[in-house]
Amino acid sequence: MARITASVYTSHVPAIGVAMDLQKTGEDYWKPLFAGYDFSRRWLRDNRPDVIFLVYNDHATAFSLDLIPTFALGTGAQFNPADEGWGARPVPVVQGHPELASHIAQSVIQQDFDLTLVNRMDVDHGLTVPLSLMCGEQDPVHGAWPCPVIPFHVNVVQYPVPSGQRCFQLGQAIRRAVESFDEDLNVQIWGTGGMSHQLQGARAGLINREWDNAWLDQMIADPAACAATPHIDYVREAGSEGIELVMWLIARGAMSDVAGSGRPPRVAHRFYHVPASNTAVGHLILENA
């Protein structure tokens, strides 16, 4: 049977993609950020999954105001990097895993999550920047991501966005779905976005290092309590775009301790850095113990 072995969490700032695409990672501004991912790239090579279930949000790229899904699961065979206005990122096409994705869709809808299934969409920096951070530079044509990726989009742009509680429960449903897939697959679930940042208004540039780290502590140790954090706390304490953190709770909900294994996950890596552009960057790797 398939199983979720680890979860990875990381912010997905567009400027990080730009820094990698323009070979600026050695500049003083960027060095400390990328240093925080050195371990992670080795870890991913040593713990290469068969499939990555990647939770992210589209930023008005594939989904305009014409159509706003709360949760959208990519069941297609492949997904192209999107042109977000500055040209498409020079990274490999994302290969999907239609069999596992369709299986998860069936299971999760029958667990009363009202998914939208998507066979055709372009994926923006929300999905490709985490892949770049964890896998390093990849030639768009001759390179490749290490394995198939199932994109899972969460609306965090137009309110109301799903609650932390709903996201946490969804993660648990995804775990049950993966474990009912017959093929023997090593699946990682990644949660992306955050941490504190605000891209708008007089309060733009807000960073709340203390709140971010307290949130991380609680998300690791007591995720059910963390999931009860109301939206308003994210917005007030972590900025209007800090709400992206609810996506991390989907990945966290899929870990085995939540399903009652009794053993808290092992923190393989933890990193925090300010700033990347407007944003506080948080990063975690949790392994099922």
Partner 1 sequence: MALDKPYQDIPGTTIFDAEQSRKGYWLNQFCTSLMKAENRARFKADERAYLDEWPMTEAQKAAVLARDLNACMAQGGNIYFLARIGATDGLSFQQMAGSMTGMSEQKYRHMMVSGGRSIEGNRYLGEDGDAQPHRQPQGQAGHTKD
197 has catalytic annotation: yes
Q: How far apart are the C-alpha atoms of 12 and 81, rounded to whole Å?
A: 14
**Nearest in space to 76 (alpha carbons), one of 107, 116, 118:** 118
Q: Does 197 bind a copy of itself (CB under 8 A)?
A: no
* Dihedral of alpha carbons 38, 41, 43, 45, sign: negative
38-46, 144-152, 176-184, 218-226 -> range binding partner 1 (CB under 8 A): 176-184
142 has catalytic annotation: no
Q: Does 118 bind a copy of itself (CB under 8 A)?
A: yes
67-75, 201-209, 252-260, 271-279 -> range binding a copy of itself (CB under 8 A): 67-75
Q: Does 83 bind partner 1 (CB under 8 A)?
A: yes
Phi and psi angles of residue 207, each rounded to the nearest 5 degrees, phi first: -135, 135
Residue number with CB closer to partner 1 (216 or 285): 216
Of residues 183-212, those binding partner 1 (CB under 8 A) = 196, 198-209, 211
Residue 289 beta carbon to partner 1: minimum distance, rounded to whole angstroms: 26
Binding mask 119-148 for partner 1 (x = CB under 8 A): x-----------------------------
Distances in Å between the Cα of 85 and the Cα atoms of 12, 72, 81, 198 are 17, 23, 12, 21
Residue 102 beta carbon to partner 1: minimum distance, rounded to whole angstroms: 4
**Which one of a copy of itself, partner 1, Fe ion, none is in contact with 142 (Cβ closer than 5 to 8 A by kind)?**
none
Encode 177-213: b = buried (16+ Cβ within 10 Å), e = exposed. bbbebeeebebbbbbbbbbbbbeeeeeeebbbeebbe
Candidate list 12, 59, 153, 197, residue with the active-site label: 197
11: three-class secondary structure by DSSP: coil
Residue number with CB closer to Fe ion (21 or 58): 58
State the DSSP H helix or E strand holding residue 213, giving kind and residue range, or none if neither.
helix 209-221
Kindly list the catalytic residues.
125, 197
